[in-house]
Structure 1
Amino acid sequence: MAASATVPEPAITVVGIGADGWAGLSEVGRAALREAGAVIGGPRQLELLPPEVAAERLAWPSPLRPAVPGLLAAHRGRHLAVLASGDPMFYGIGRTLAELAGPDALRVLPHPSSVSYACARLGLPLEEAEVVSLVGRPLDSLAAALYPGRTVLVLSAGADTPARVAALLAARGYGPSRLRVLEQLGSPAERQLAGTAADWPHPPGDPLNVIAVDCAPEPGTPRAQLVPGRPDSAFESDGQLTKRHVRAATLASLAPAPGELLWDVGGGSGSIGIEWLRAHRSCRAVAVERDPVRAERITRNAAALGVPRLQVVSGAAPAALAGLPTPDAVFIGGGLTAPGLLAACWAALPAGGRLVANTVTLESEALLTEWYRRHGGELLRLAVAHAVPVGGFTGWRQAMPVTQWSVVKGMDVVESMDVVEVPEQGEQQ
């Protein structure tokens, strides 16, 4: 009988530690730190270790991520331990180490996370907790989680975060929201502070805090929604905006899924990329816009709607597409007849990728019809009419119809094809 393969010992032990320090560790965690030749962690975490941990103590440099490979390589062969706040795999150093060293190199000993402690203190079921981390992330990220009646747990970036969160809530029409700041969770110094966002009364306190936000809007605050098709008024625009009903149909054709990347080509006001990102927190998007004024407007819209992670590229496609990561889906909302644009977007898509293109012009419609003939998919015309006053009566006002081509790329090869050069169009109506 063949001998079983030997499983190598993990090279790095990652020990979660809380505000209760050494006293809160299990004996397994304590033993791992006693046996370590070197311990890496933040200065605050290293200070929690008692003298019986004789290992060399190394503080993480800043910026942290670029320094990790070299630091691990310098201590290869030693019993290496890493200290992490709470659960290392929940918004912690564990993810970075798993990505750079590989999961098989890690032995992770988790401690209760600050969110687990917060839910226990608040009587909030952990599975119902909406968590937003502001550690190394823009404050505007919180805006995407604001829904009436929901409780959001905010992982704080420091002592001033509660006041910054209160100011953002008040500015976004959520001033009546109740805030509870939970400091030093799990330690003897644990305490809670409470107040409303509109008149937050407390000065900066302990930097180790979690903020519970009970979302309550002011009367008249626009209602947020989960599905695409937000009101046009939610976007700052110069008119180059994919209108609400067409936008909802477009996102349905693009079919975002967690972790996927969208190219929004001819970004206009950024509405397609923004709605794509709001579909799931792991979705990614790049908006390409040749007009620098519109590019800046896209950035403002993304921040206002809680997705400041939208990457905005200011430049004309197809040249501006060079070097972008491979997309899972492409939306073309303007400039369809620019030489080589459609071919470049099609070539960038992998098999199974989706392409959706909208237009209101006959020239671009002819181009989409030709691509539909050659590659299949679905070609449709979207027409929306709104009821408007007509004297003392009511009648229909027809918006410009939008021709949409949507297709899933198979294994076929793109052929070269001639296009007619016309001035680029902005994001379609």
Structure 2
Amino acid sequence: MPLGAGADRANQLRDTTRRSSQVVMMPIIDGHNDLPMQLRARYGYRVEGLTRSRPGLQTDIPRLRAGRVGGQFWSVYVPSDLPEPEAVVATMEQIDAVYRMAAAYPGDLAIACSADDVERVIGEGRIASLIGIEGGHSIATSLGVLRAFARLGVRYLTLTHNHNTSWADSAAAEPAVDGLNDDGRAVVREMQRIGMLVDLSHVAPITMHAALDTAFAPVLFSHSGTRALHDHRRNVPDDVLTRLRDNGGVLHLTFVSPFVSAEFGAWQDAAEAEWARLGLPDPYPPFPRAPRPAEDPAAVPPRVGVDVAAEAAFRPWLAANPRPVVTIAQVADHVEHAREVAGVDHVGLGGDFDGTTDLPEGLSDVSGYPRLLAELSSRGWSGADLDKLSGRNVLRVLRDSERLAQEPLWPRTPAR
């Protein structure tokens, strides 16, 4: 790094932050945040302490406020290699964590189950807390479980995570059912019949097309990039973006560095290959258990981080192969490409905070959204278009899904 380059970048970030304060925008409604998973892994589902920064977290209430977040889809993710009945139980625990989080901070958070709820909560100066399930394994191939989750307030289901289900193909596995089989098409139809959003992040392109063939209401991508800028399996091809425009859905652009930057993706692949060559232990800890009924949650050992000895053994490779810098401008490039192909009415933001440690400079936590908006403003985005990106587009998708539902479970006003 050239002498003074770090200081130059710090000055640029400060300048961007100052510019961001001049951008008038609708509050952000973000498509995906994994805080519930981090609360399970690090804190035994204890929800206290979110009024200040907590070690290891990218999300807390002050930083949500600084980021001008008015609505958040909280991901209730559980690993896709769990047996399906176990995944249902773990997903229920994750949903419970979101409700307990909202109950613990009633002046700041409120559960939202409809577009009207979101607008009301934002109008009250609170953060609308929506729920999204990340992976079709969580319904255990049961429409009854799907409907029960909808009644608990779940607003989207990602059809797969990183493993195929028996009825849908993931982007991270070899296709097995040609995108969707008859069960998968029935799941998509039932979701839209009851007004739940079909989330196509994590699925294979063949599954994206199969879902769009089946859908009669708008779909969304909760946290993905554009494949034309970086040919990563988690990104969305242009032929799908064109169909998304016609479907009326929205792509929430993510900030995850290996999805944003081809250089970073190549570095990550090389790092993982070297880690395996050295024979180091799996860097991803096992899925943490929830506290038992009689157990003090503080006594549950956290399941985070990697082995200290393994980190030491890997340090020489890291020193010789520094992590590439990913920038806000690169994220903005993905946003602009999606706008160019799908249209400004079909873009949103889905940072994936607390689901990754690999984030661009200036977007390291939930306070960073105004910097991205300022970057787009400097490229000529109007205030009206920034409002669409920030939240108006996804509000429209929510409202359209409710309007087109044949047997809506929402809207309702949850108890306060």
TM-score scaled by structure 2? 0.24
Q: Higher helix proportion, which one?
A: 2
Select the structure of larger CA radius of gyration.
1
TM-score scaled by structure 1? 0.24
Q: Higher strand proportion, which one?
A: 1
